[in-house]
A and B are shown apart, each in its own frame.
Chain A
Amino acid sequence: MSATCHPSDELLVAYGAGSLDEAASLLVATHLALCPRCRAEVGRIEAMGGAVIETLPPSDLGADALASVLARLDQLPGAPMPRSPVVAAPGLPSPLRDYLPASLEALPWKRLAAGIEQAILLQARGIRARLLRIGAGIVVPEHGHGGMELTMVLQGGFTDSGTGYARGDVAMADQQVVHSPAADGGETCLCLAVTHGPLKLTGLVGRLVNPFLDL
């Protein structure tokens, strides 16, 4: 089954143009592996990028630019492209596998709250990509956001403000959103989440536990 909740046009354009940060790009690329619709969309965006480049006025190059590049063609190593290991966890597509050890259990999982664990995959300039494991039926403590939050389901599903999210679906939240998503019953929900800025727990319980959480 294909995804029904997609990243916004702005995110797809930023990914196609190459202006999106690495963590959000990881989430978008992982979504693309699971979503033919957005794959076609990014294909069109890249085609626009090609057209934009072709309509640019040419800049002058150094007089020997072509000669020096031609001279270097012979010296190029014919290194094969490294392949990502197909071991990791079955069901996880390749852009994500590149960021994972051979087994999900080898990740540095940390308990966030009862039934919720996270493993940080990437962090830079306040932007984080992490895997979240939320036990079946567990409700995530109510929280707000210091910036954009993107969450993609890899396994299982969750419900947020009345909308259900299944494998491949992307949920987007921003500074205006306060929410408390809940994992569906039946199986553990595995998500890839990207946050731009820290989360802020809001409820009474949240205020009590906030200092202990690494959100």
Chain B
Amino acid sequence: MPDKRLAVEPGPGAERFSDLLSAVAQYGDRQAFALLFQYYAPRLKTYMRKLGAEDAVAEELAQEAMLAVWRKAASFDPGRANAGTWIFAIARNLRIDMLRKEKRPEIDFDDPELVPDPAPRADEVMATQQSESRVRAAMSGLSAEQTEVVTLSFYEDTPHAEIAARLKIPLGTVKSRLRLAMKRIRSELGDDQP
């Protein structure tokens, strides 16, 4: 379909990935999907390899994750997460499903039993708070040691004892670095909640 949206040229750090994902959701826009694929699929493959998948499996998981992105695009809500965050969650859940053979319990935002946010924020506010550039800026404020434990948290399939063993530091140190990192991120990105 002839389309003005295709003028979008993503590059690292572009907030426009969210627009591409919305185009996939609303119009089944294949060119937008191809641009997302070219950026994310090679990185998802690296992510799967970091988590221990061998090359062929990592590639398969990356492709399956991108297929899931296409299939689930309609549930992408730019007011709740940016494209990178949403695609990360898709890839994370797919790996749990296909490699760990476990279900991934997740909340349903339409559940009537959900306790609502105390002061519902406008979509734009949330989108700004979680925007890619703000998340990156907040993370760049972490110390090298905090960045290390935070980053490793995404690459280990078992909770933090593995990280302690890998870094040859006590588990308590991993936990305190993580807590300090989260406190910092909260104050940078966060809201008024305690």
Chain A contacts to B: CB under 8 angstroms: 2, 8-14, 17-22, 25-26, 28-30, 32-37, 39-41, 43-54, 56-62, 65-66, 68-70, 72-73, 76, 78, 81, 84, 86, 91-95, 98-99, 124, 168
Contacts and interface: CB of A to CB of B under 8 A. Distances in A.
Contacts of A40: 117, 190-191, 193
Contact of A19 (B12, B151, B153, B186): B153
What is the interface of chain A mostly: helix, strand, loop, or mixed?
helix
A95 B107 contact: yes
Given A47-B82, A50-B84, A65 B89 contact: no
Contacts of B93: 18
A98 B59 CA distance: 31
Nearest to A129: B105
A72 B92 contact: no
Nearest to B193: A37
Contacts of B111: 33, 93-94
Contacts of B159: 10-11, 14, 19-20
Given A25-B105, A93-B111, A50 B85 contact: yes
Contact of A44 (B37, B58, B132, B186): B186
Nearest to A122: B103
B92 A18 contact: yes
B179 interface: yes
A98 to B, nearest CB: 7
Contact of A58 (B42, B130, B178): B42
B118 A61 contact: no
B62 A61 contact: yes
B57 to A, nearest CB: 12
Interface in B75-127: 75, 80-89, 91-93, 95-96, 102-108, 111-118
Interface in B118-145: 118, 130, 132, 135-136, 139
Between A10, A32, A66, A68, the greatest number of chain B beta carbons within 10 A of the residue's beta carbon is seen for: A10
B6 interface: no
Contacts of B81: 43, 46-47, 50
Contacts of B86: 50
B182 A13 contact: yes
A10 B186 CA distance: 14
B66 interface: yes
20 contacts: A14-B159, A17-B153, A17-B156, A18-B104, A36-B117, A40-B190, A40-B193, A48-B135, A48-B154, A50-B86, A51-B84, A52-B154, A53-B43, A53-B44, A60-B42, A66-B37, A70-B30, A78-B71, A95-B105, A98-B103
B62 to A, nearest CB: 7
Contacts of A49: 85, 88-89, 92, 154
Given A50-B135, A69-B37, A73-B30, A19 B157 contact: yes
Nearest to A38: B193
A19 B80 CA distance: 22
Contacts of A39: 107, 117
